[in-house]
Amino acid sequence: MTVTSSPPTSASASEGRRAKPRSRAAPPSLHPHPTRHARASGTAPIPVNDYTAALPWYERLLGTPPTFFPHGTEAVWELAEHRYVYIVQRPGRAGNAVHTILVDDLDTRVAHISDRGLEPTTRETYAEGMRKITYHDPDGNEFGFGGAAH
């Protein structure tokens, strides 16, 4: 991987030093347990306006309580080994998340979610033989499940 950084300032250029590359890591406030998240192969944030309202909605969507709670307004679900999704209260940033996960049995997943009281906002079938079922949380964040058409 090639890391590029902005050109050195005139002071550092005159001293022959290069600017340090900027870290691409999330701000520490998003990951209060850096060692736990450092091992993660995939961590997907979902900012919400009202954590208290979003938590039960995501429990119904995902079918389980969160795996752990890093702090009072963040909940994390481990979807598969080293694959996480989390909600975090971030007023003003909510409504912009777009996530899709692929599952083996899409119809069963959607039926179980319906049994828990949530209905999809869209159902799509693609020419390549894939389907996507999309849900939108109260803030407008998009969470989809995809799978092969039968």
| Residues 81, 44, 79, 127, CA torsion sign | negative
pTM higher than 0.75? no
Predicted confidence (pLDDT) per residue in 40-70, tens digit: 367 889 999 999 999 999 999 999 999 999 9
DSSP state letters, 63-76: TS--SEEEETTEEE
Amino acid identity of residue 25, one-letter, is A
CB 43 within 8 A of CB 84: yes
pLDDT at position 11, please? 40
pLDDT over 70 (residue 17): no
